[in-house]
Amino acid sequence: MGGFPEITTNLGEYVDSIVSFLDESLESLFDFIYLFSTQFINGIEDFLLWMPWWVFIVIIILLGWYFKSLISGVLYGGFIFLIGTFGLWEDMMTTIAIVLTAVVISLLIGIPLGVWMAFSRGVSTVMRPVLDAMQTMPSFVYLIPAIFFFGLGNVSAIFATLIYAVPPVIRLTELAIRGVDKEVIESAESFGSSKWQMLFKIQLPQALPTIMAGVNQTTMMVLAMVVIASMVGAQGLGEQILVSINQIDIALGFEAGISIVFLAIIIDRITGGVADKLQKHRRVS
């Protein structure tokens, strides 16, 4: 008596039809994205594996020293060395390649879209609920269309990761552009600056520290998806965690898990250091 009436909307079937239509209509586009992403990931991974291990560690130490402190740089280098002693060096390089690819694509999509939202109230109004849905939808749901469009592998992992990771840089780019001092903009307008000149010479430089905070958040979210992405065939440290779960291998699970933590700490501190440097430069100038 108290049950819900037998009313069905078949909304899921409509979504399925749309996804099938996109797969058939844009097959060449998805093939191009697959090839480009695969070549990009493989190129980064091959370069990182070609680089001597000690050179990579020295680079990490120097980055940590420049953006934080010498002690921090040595600590980050120690983290990387420790991951190597776990026997996870190649998996770490694969993970870094996936993360870098996902971050680059996120920035290429997110920053222009954030700028567009900052200049258009209509676009911002439409995009905000979309971004909310992208961030709140369970991550596993993204894996379904990823497999449908690209099959199993690293490209599907990047596709699923983008949906989850791109909103922060979009939101913070919009916030940063809107937060630029209006007096500065009015001064530029009084000197006859065009919209493009104001964007590239005033608004983006002023907004850069906040945008870098968005880059930091996006990067951390990409790392957070590493393990979930392994379920669609992504390689690297996430794959090792999945293997450890299947085999109930506590040692492997701990080593792969703590390796991801180490990478997260290093990336978070270095990108945060970049934002701090930009903020200090902005105050000085």
Quote the pTM value: 0.85
Q: How far, in Å, CA of 163 to CA of 132, rounded? A: 11
Domains of the chain: 12-50+86-284 (1.10.3720.10)
* Encoded tokens for 193: 């600056």
- For position 281, what pLDDT does the model report? 62
pLDDT digits (tens), the chain, 285 positions = 566 677 677 766 777 787 777 777 777 877 888 888 888 888 988 999 999 999 999 999 999 999 888 999 999 999 999 999 999 999 999 999 988 888 888 889 999 999 899 888 888 898 899 888 888 887 777 777 778 777 778 888 888 888 888 898 999 888 888 887 777 777 777 777 777 777 777 777 788 888 888 888 888 888 888 778 887 777 888 888 888 888 888 898 999 999 999 998 998 888 888 777 766 665 555
Amino acid 284: pLDDT: 55
Separation of alpha carbons 64 and 121, rounded Å? 40
**What local confidence, expressed as pLDDT, does residue 1 receive?**
53
pLDDT at 64: 92
d(CA 167, CA 175): 12
Q: Name residues whose C-beta falls within 8 Å of residue 211's C-beta, 6 or more positions apart in sequence.
A: 111, 114, 169, 172, 173, 176, 204
**What is the per-residue pLDDT for 60?**
94
pLDDT of residue 285: 55
In terms of Cα–Cα distance, which of 215, 228, 230 is closest to 274? 215
